[in-house]
Structure 1
């Protein structure tokens, strides 16, 4: 089976398959991608023959025909128009022309199977599994950020070895690696390496240099860079390129490769029919949609181009009850000893599978008199929903992989490579399962439905409340609960002899709610952190010490935040160690004083003070002169393009200034820093550790008073003290 597919400008398609003798290409000249045109609603009156006549006149249309397909899971087979196109790039433009056709009213027509990625479409339409039959060879090419400002590279990392020198030297090293490894996959720190190396070769007169396995096609640009917004956050999508015969993994534009590994990607390739290159840049929702499309395709159901599912009518009372999230039991702020964490295994996916929650089953017309969903009264059809068929194999597969991991770890000589491969596969499936619930409420989801989202939440609330009641009846006190996790501690008002074991309770609850409740961990203690400026517990901020383990479990506080400088992170972890030893705020503050003393003396390597922040908009769009603006100006001075959605790294050297001298970029290797600014960061980190004991930032400051001067100047590393 092909692991990558190339689409040439002349219409030919190349299927690349890995064999024992290397990659082999098979050319196809007869491939014609297809989309469909049908009625938007079952009772719409559309003249498909008139539409067909219009399309038959178009030079890019190869063939047309009336076919019988299901335009949706809730619809039976209907007549639709199949349109075969000369080239995959012409599918979307031709589908848009439906709106220009005058035969039926525009609102009655709908297009299907339009916006598929190219390789995925090819595999779906030709029933191909793009999972490689043998192991793939890889080659990594990396370029430092400072080199991205130039038109040519003078330094490049080739499979872990740094190569520097002229363009000819760099290109020779790449060519030697290509000849030696003949890689199937190119792992690039940025996809811009592809066109830059090609331009370097052209400038150097090296006409025979190419990354491609086909000398007649060097590379193809698939998409330009873009900026987007998702759930209130700005993101950046770099340009995408294709090198014939090789799959590209762009480390700056990949979720699954970064969160899992190549084994995780290959597991999802087999489930989604998205080849390696497309899966590497795809989002979680994109891959989940591909898996759903595969299931729809197997059932003869077409995929709508644009989502038009209306929300079912609801009485005001039902709308109020439905507009709620998952279960939340506010944490008891403070430090709790002898805490136990229990988690429901893949709660939302298991609710979907055990309760048959699916867009094609929720609020079905055949069981309208039933009230299957608690609080909401929605009926759920008895016929198995398509979403169950999508998710149940993934749930079962992850359970099996986790069992394999446990068996491997119990061996006297566990295989680290096998464990790494299993962990990658488990993580990849976990992310799909995490997304399956929220995607049901996403307005652009191909097959989502808000009523599914509401029903899953309603079932989850009932399940967690049932668990809470039974745990409390068994002699345990719930100190925190959120979505699918519950933290409990022994109820002091219940005699130990009367308290039931958690294993027995978990088994009983699992049977009662038909979702497995697992004993996750025992903690010597857990501290729940309050919201800043409030006594209310923060839902996702806590830290604790697992029994028998040296490491802390940390969530939400500075040591887990991506923007935190490594020195601040290390200091907070040291504060936690002291907190664990004594629970005495004064002992914790002794460690803080030591860190502040080192900071003020200029003894901290500025490289440990680098902060990493996401840029949310172009430099000129900021109305305040923030540190990000100062960093963007410095980047512009160096010729570095930092786009909205990307991150920028810098050291704060003088936070009082309102110019580009406020910060220094990480690659500039600054030799000074603003001690006062980073001291504030340290105090904030100490506040997070001590806040479960009732301390805030002012308490920390007041206790430190007299041991240092609050307002400090900027110090150089070699300043010799203060």
Structure 2
């Protein structure tokens, strides 16, 4: 019976039923019913771009394409259409067939036809093609004409419908309507006594889950028989029926391990909403769980640059989810010992609970942004986190191209090309009081908008500028861009920034502590991330809309803009301490800073705002390296070892503390005493080995390394002991006592005893160099740090001495 329903779209996929494709839309009604909408009417298509000069032959070209038709997936429609390609009017033939997989085959054949320049949009996946064409976005509400087909035994949902008409969106970017979604976090523990876990050998001993209804459960193996644990997990998922399943590194470990282990022990991993389907590794490397959104939170943790070692416990502590000191921590190689010992097993069970609680807590922090990113880009939630920012922006651009009747370019393999980047001034070395950081708001997107930059607006012949109302000419590089009409990127970016402004206006109507405010805040952040990615996207060799000249022009205008601001700041009498890309560090004189802001806004035509104010900031002579004391008392460290990954935790901790002592108290001698105390504790074995681990990523296979770097030697030792190591793995090693080069004394941290540690290495090559980055400027030497006493010098004495 025909009716209309209102539902929130969660995901889309397709199936072949008989010999026809059926789009499957998974959703939730606002009243909380889980539904599937099946659309049998949509068919795959692509475009044959007609060469210039062959437009009159379009009908003949279409006839030649028709002769390619095959019975397995016939060409059912051909239409000559007027489109735009890089902004220029072009003729194309829209080629429609039946089976999505046959599009690739037809594409190659069509390209060989005389008069065809290229085949376009053949690589847009069928389910994405549908939601683009129907203007569907995840987590938006739609009203759809449907026919209720009652229960369908093939789907674990409340109702199944056939789509009979076009969906109408009833929410927009400034409105958030969200039904309560069911969420489950899970985490597995594996018994691995012989090196790296192997699903063909090692059982899954615990599967921990935590859900939005308050459930916390452990599904445990019966000794070393894990069928009970896996079945318990499967039954739970089917019973609770979550919309979203989250894990931490679950795409990389938990799901692949469970999938292979379940096959090995003969248990069907029947956790999907599609009866008969199982999880599969899909595009972009994510694991697809039909009907549920599988989200690996590790992909969002990778974007937190402040945390260098992305373990669950480190990220959970950094985000305030769970302190390491308040949870059970067990090294993975110790798990078998805890499982085998009845007295220790409860500790392992608590460890599993803490892991899944931390995972659930991270989901509460990260999912709001992930969901808004999915909504804004139109990419399903289970895929958007796995994609790089370039791909996220590209899907947004593909949707914009559809709206603007633009053909989407194919992805082309090309070599990376470099071009001159932004202005980075050499900083004024030393300690500076009362410094303001001015930040150009969305500098590069605004340059692209102001100067109409894009691959479709480049003008090669200066004589042509007149017909476009003139051209903008980029300084230094001389690339020209037409003034009129607005190009593809300008239109897209204006729309993005307008939407962000609308969302931020909406936020002003809400109390900042409300859940709605937070969702809108995440939405405006998602819009900002996309807009800011646009300039880098054009210079990315993998981009469909690649344009090196555009990226060069944008950085040239950026350099001109910041140099103009610096010149005016100096005219005002402001001391310019540092400048980097789109920010300026100047002495904080409120009246003069206001004049500088007015000049940038009213004369240069760009937005600039106060980003930070430092009570005190210290610069070395190096660019992109400074330590500042913010007005609220926080220490801001940029570019020093304290935030780099190839130093141990102790070196980072000591350097950060020294920076805090120096900038807050000015007492150099107090910093020296603190360092000596740390050295003393290290010599007396009071520093945990965990703080001495150095983490380094393997960038290639072990056999490809020519030089024996410490992390490579440690990785070889892991491999000899039976552990799997491969490119991308983070290797944690420590340096032990003994003769020979440092590399030869690098061992995996879990293979050594505390008494093996080479304390002198950590003093001479980690702690002392890290703190001398700051203290050497104040005349402190390595000898002083290791000596027994120090004079009472302060930062302020030092500064007076410099001035004198």
User: TM class by shorter-chain length?
Assistant: 0.7 to 0.9
CA contact (8 A) 1:335 1:527 kept: yes
CA contact (8 A) 1:437 1:456 kept: yes
5 Å-filtered alignment, 1:554-593, equals 554-583=637-666, 585-593=668-676
Alignment pair present for 1:197 and 2:258: yes
CA contact (8 A) 2:45 2:94 kept: no
Equivalence for 2:171: none
Equivalent of 1:222 in 282, 285, 307: 282
Equivalent of 1:622 in 705, 716, 719: 705
Equivalent of 1:248 in 275, 291, 294: 294
5 Å-filtered alignment, 1:131-146, equals 131-133=139-141, 134-143=179-188
CA distance in 1, matches of 2:393, 2:481: 26
With 591-600 and 646-655 compared, the bigger mean Cα shift is at 646-655
Please report how far the alpha carbon of residue 621 of structure 1 lies from its aligned counterpart in structure 2 after TM superposition: 1.1
5 Å-filtered alignment, 1:481-500, equals 481-489=579-587, 500=591
CA distance in 1, matches of 2:289, 2:278: 7
5 Å-filtered alignment, 1:118-197, equals 118-133=126-141, 134-143=179-188, 149-151=197-199, 152-159=203-210, 163-166=219-222, 167-175=226-234, 177-179=236-238, 181-189=240-248, 190-191=250-251, 192-197=253-258
User: Structure 1 residues 255, 576: closer, same or farther in 2, change over 3 A?
Assistant: closer
Q: Deviations over 1:380-436 (max 9, x none)?
A: 32212221222223334445656777887xx6xx52745654554344334323321
CA distance in 2, matches of 1:325, 1:306: 24
Please report how far the alpha carbon of residue 358 of structure 1 lies from its aligned counterpart in structure 2 after TM superposition: 2.6
Alignment pair present for 1:65 and 2:65: no
CA distance in 1, matches of 2:694, 2:217: 27
Equivalence for 1:300: 405
User: Structure 1 residues 659, 328: closer, same or farther in 2, change over 3 A?
Assistant: closer
CA contact (8 A) 1:264 1:426 kept: no
Equivalent of 1:505 in 596, 607, 613: 596
With 125-134 and 512-521 compared, the bigger mean Cα shift is at 125-134
With 683-692 and 571-580 compared, the bigger mean Cα shift is at 683-692
5 Å-filtered alignment, 1:77-96, equals 77-87=90-100, 89-96=101-108
5 Å-filtered alignment, 1:314-333, equals 324-333=420-429
CA distance in 2, matches of 1:309, 1:632: 33
Please report how far the alpha carbon of residue 451 of structure 1 lies from its aligned counterpart in structure 2 after TM superposition: 2.6
Gaps of at least 5 residues in structure 2 are: 1-7, 142-178, 211-215, 306-364, 790-804
CA contact (8 A) 1:664 1:670 kept: no
CA contact (8 A) 2:414 2:542 kept: no
Equivalence for 1:493: none
CA distance in 1, matches of 2:62, 2:651: 69
Equivalent of 1:17 in 24, 27, 33: 27
With 558-567 and 370-379 compared, the bigger mean Cα shift is at 370-379
CA contact (8 A) 1:296 1:302 kept: yes
CA distance in 2, matches of 1:422, 1:565: 39
Equivalence for 1:277: 382
CA RMSD of aligned residues (A): 3.6
CA contact (8 A) 2:207 2:230 kept: no
CA distance in 2, matches of 1:435, 1:654: 47
Equivalence for 2:760: 676
CA contact (8 A) 1:474 1:500 kept: no
User: Structure 1 residues 276, 557: closer, same or farther in 2, change over 3 A?
Assistant: same
User: Structure 1 residues 81, 396: closer, same or farther in 2, change over 3 A?
Assistant: closer
5 Å-filtered alignment, 1:453-602, equals 453-489=551-587, 500-529=591-620, 537-547=621-631, 549-583=632-666, 585-602=668-685
Please report how far the alpha carbon of residue 655 of structure 1 lies from its aligned counterpart in structure 2 after TM superposition: 8.0
User: Structure 1 residues 677, 659: closer, same or farther in 2, change over 3 A?
Assistant: closer
User: Structure 1 residues 669, 267: closer, same or farther in 2, change over 3 A?
Assistant: farther
| SS of aligned partner of 1:338 | strand
Equivalence for 2:442: 346
| SS of aligned partner of 1:649 | strand
Equivalence for 2:687: 604
Please report how far the alpha carbon of residue 363 of structure 1 lies from its aligned counterpart in structure 2 after TM superposition: 2.3
With 457-466 and 394-403 compared, the bigger mean Cα shift is at 394-403
| SS of aligned partner of 2:437 | strand
Please report how far the alpha carbon of residue 362 of structure 1 lies from its aligned counterpart in structure 2 after TM superposition: 3.2
With 510-519 and 565-574 compared, the bigger mean Cα shift is at 565-574
CA distance in 1, matches of 2:652, 2:750: 21
Alignment pair present for 1:374 and 2:475: yes
CA distance in 2, matches of 1:451, 1:569: 41
Normalised by the length of structure 1, the TM-score is: 0.81
Equivalence for 1:394: 496
Equivalent of 1:28 in 35, 39, 55: 39
With 249-258 and 278-287 compared, the bigger mean Cα shift is at 249-258
CA contact (8 A) 1:255 1:281 kept: no
Normalised by the length of structure 2, the TM-score is: 0.74
Alignment pair present for 1:448 and 2:546: yes
CA distance in 2, matches of 1:638, 1:97: 52
Equivalence for 2:771: 686
| SS of aligned partner of 2:445 | helix
Q: Deviations over 1:139-172 (max 9, x none)?
A: 1222358767131311333227665434134225
User: Structure 1 residues 667, 127: closer, same or farther in 2, change over 3 A?
Assistant: farther
CA distance in 2, matches of 1:421, 1:544: 31
CA distance in 1, matches of 2:109, 2:680: 69
CA distance in 2, matches of 1:165, 1:270: 40
Please report how far the alpha carbon of residue 678 of structure 1 lies from its aligned counterpart in structure 2 after TM superposition: 2.2
User: Structure 1 residues 257, 501: closer, same or farther in 2, change over 3 A?
Assistant: closer
